[in-house]
Amino acid sequence: MTPQEAVQARQIIGLIVPSIPRNFFNWISVAAWLWLSPDGKGGGGGGQAYDTLGDATGFTFPIPPLLRPLSILREMHPEVDHRRWQSVLLQFGRSREHVRLAYAFDDPLRWMITEGNYASMIRAIRPDFAGLSGPGGGADDLDTRWLQQ
């Protein structure tokens, strides 16, 4: 992820975090899938918040505030026909270093969780930050101050 992508990712994260259900306050990581229409005027998505045991709870978030940073993120890849860039998987944890982006082209529903795929997809999109430096998986070492920046 480039520094410019990281700026947009953190802006999106800041807009998503307030929507995590309050009863899931002990979340350690989130996987959010977002899609953007070719003209950048519409979009959608959803999220899964994971706790230390790997249990997940689904949630939604307001899309209109995300349209601008998503459009900017898409425009950062002029080497490809950005209209094909339709979906992004944003994975993040409570540590500033724990942010990852993955893109899907021509497949706006790539990471969408449905009745038919929920059991496998919830596991497939779960963030794994074990190989990264920074605070680990315990809820006691979580630092959320960067989320307010």
Q: Say whether pLDDT at 30 is over 60.
A: yes
* 67-75 helix and 3-16 helix, angle to the nearest 10 degrees: 160
Q: Say whether pLDDT at 13 is over 80.
A: yes
Q: Is the model more confident about 81 or about 126?
A: 126
Q: Is the model more confident about 19 or about 130?
A: 19
Q: Which amino acid is at 42?
A: G
Spatial separation of the C-alpha atoms in residues 65 and 93, rounded to whole Å: 21
Spatial separation of the C-alpha atoms in residues 12 and 90, rounded to whole Å: 9
Q: Please tell me the predicted confidence (pLDDT) of residue 77.
A: 72
Spatial separation of the C-alpha atoms in residues 52 and 10, rounded to whole Å: 22
Q: Say whether pLDDT at 59 is over 90.
A: yes
| Angle at CA of residue 127, ends 123 and 131, nearest 5° | 125
Q: What is the mean pLDDT of the chain?
A: 81
Q: Please tell me the predicted confidence (pLDDT) of residue 133.
A: 40
Q: Please tell me the predicted confidence (pLDDT) of residue 81.
A: 65
CATH topology for 3-130 is: 3.30.500
71, 40 Cβ separation under 8 angstroms: yes
Q: Say whether pLDDT at 28 is over 80.
A: yes
The two beta strands, 56-59 and 43-50, are antiparallel
| 84-117 residue pLDDT tens | 667 889 999 988 889 998 888 777 778 888 889 8
Q: Please tell me the predicted confidence (pLDDT) of residue 80.
A: 66
Q: Averaged over 52-78, what is the pLDDT?
A: 89
126, 54 Cβ separation under 8 angstroms: yes
pTM, whole model, 2 decimals? Answer: 0.81
| Domain range list for the chain | 3-130
Q: Say whether pLDDT at 136 is over 50.
A: no
